[in-house]
Structure 1
């Protein structure tokens, strides 16, 4: 007996056969699939001839699968499921081996050695050399929305908005410490704030807050007599206010080490360092894409 090999015609006829079984007969299958009765009957008969097997009994007594038909139905279901998975995988591969991938981050994530973004991008370039990788910086309040609206394929944020279509995965943590300019007129007041207990009459210390709010920042700020003297939308803008002597601010340790300003002094408190948790963000329906899987694998190693 010669080996059986599946052709395109076989796939078409198997789909017809599955529809006939699903809808319980030739007439119902024709109606539900928008095909003609003769076309469905022809496909079913051709498949039986091709296989040399009677797949079903149809007539006045109703529709029923033969034992051989049940075996073919089970095998066909598995075959077409595997084919669908193959098609999806190939489509994902075609989309990611070329084309564009957009990664969004918030301010100063890329330079944080704990984030591992640079190493991940290097690995992505190695795996997908023909893919154009766009990296952009976004505000915390909008970055999740950009992923939800498919304007970004992947993001790293410090403040998850918990939007429904998205998956949020804890990534790395960032150490924040309280800094002030050594030339600030408020420096002594900041040290007094830490050294002494305070009450309602204690003078407040000027503080530069970040544009985005997180629970860990808010918790720290409410423990001390601070008043907001300025706000910054980026770490550079917060740093500028600190260096100008406006007040103190929480800044990432890695950021301060990188800028290397000798004009900054740490105000050590019992509650510092403040540890901020960052998250990876991607769409639930994109989790199995090859490029997303590769990026996740690399970032999880950091």
Structure 2
């Protein structure tokens, strides 16, 4: 029996409503961004907290028990009341209130940072008293924070396979293949593709999920998720690797990096992502509007 409601209880209740609306555990996987065993485990936690079964999930398919039907109605009413309270609190005296949490991929181009700064400036001209939080992290970490609903938005390149997310395009980033000073190809202007295939290339586990790069060598003895780590491997003179052109330019100008075949360049799309199941308050909506306008 639930004596008092706590945040974990609300998370479980929201999961319960999502499972019912999706039509079962399997169908809810894409919406929640969770595996079926995880969903089943959390539903069991909720049933333990309540002290009764909510649904049957046997050969006959997914079905609510009578108590499950009653809890579904009560939960929907509770979540609606919470949303109304949040909206009323955020709209006090015509002000935007609360906190907006935005995650962003690291090492952005100067132009990108300037546009983000312009969005913040536009937002601050509104009638608001909002705490803005900017968090820099690798794409995989940003996806995890979004799935856990610990961010309102994230700006990065994503795998695009999370059905739980909405994506809006923002800008593109050009990637180029480099080697470092001391590498056998440093200073070489024309390299046969077959020779490149035999070189040791830094593998980026997140980026390579879709295999979207135009070139991947047959050998990789270096793995790095963050741009700085890829750069370090390349600067060693023993590995080749892709880097954002804007990021590599300074090192290239200093004679420490050498750009390989430009025909192997590729473009990474950056998007503004949010979790579909996460409530969007007035402050979050306003900041998203200013952000999209800045990148338009």
TM over 0.5: yes
Offset at 1:130? 2.8
1:182 and 2:181 are equivalent in the alignment? yes
Q: Deviations over 1:5-60 (max 9, x none)?
A: xxxxxxxxxxxxxxxxxxxxxxxxxxxxxxxxxxxxxxxxxxxxxxxxxxxxxxxx
1:248-267 superposed matches below 5 A: 248-257=240-249, 261-267=254-260
**Structure 1 stretches lacking a partner, 5+ long:** 1-84
Instruction: Note closer, same or farther for the CA distance 1:99–1:175 as it changes in structure 2 (3 Å cut).
Output: same
In structure 2, runs of 5+ residues without a counterpart are: 1-82
Alpha-carbon RMSD: 3.4
Residues 216, 276 of structure 1: 8 Å contact kept: no
1:252–1:203 Cα change, 3 Å: closer
1:236 aligns with 2:228: yes
Deviation of the 1:243 alpha carbon: 1.2
Larger radius of gyration: 1
Give SS of 1:270's match.
helix
1:266 and 1:158 mapped to 2: Cα distance?
Answer: 23
The alignment of Structure 1 onto Structure 2 pairs a total of residues equal to: 210
- Whether contact under 8 Å (1:211, 1:234) holds in the other structure is no
- Tell me how far 1:166 sits from its aligned partner: 2.6
Q: CA 1:136/1:288 → structure 2, altered by over 3 Å: closer, same or farther?
A: closer
Contact 1:186 1:247 in 2 (8 A): no
2:25 matched residue in structure 1: none
Q: Deviations for 1:88-145, whole angstroms, at most 9, x for unmatched residues?
A: 7534435983332211122224x45246323223333333653221111223223223
Distance in 1 separating the partners of 2:263 and 2:241: 16
TM-score by length of 2: 0.59
SS in 1 for 2:125: helix
* Whole-angstrom distance in 2 between the partners of 1:258 and 1:154: 30
Q: Is the 8 A contact 1:160 1:279 kept in 2?
A: no
1: distance between equivalents of 2:208 and 2:165? 19
**TM-score normalised per structure 1:** 0.58
Cα deviation digits, residues 157-205 of structure 1 (max 9, x gap): 21145434431112211111111123323437894334xxx39xx8711
Superposition misfits of 4+ residues, deviation over 6 angstroms? 85-88
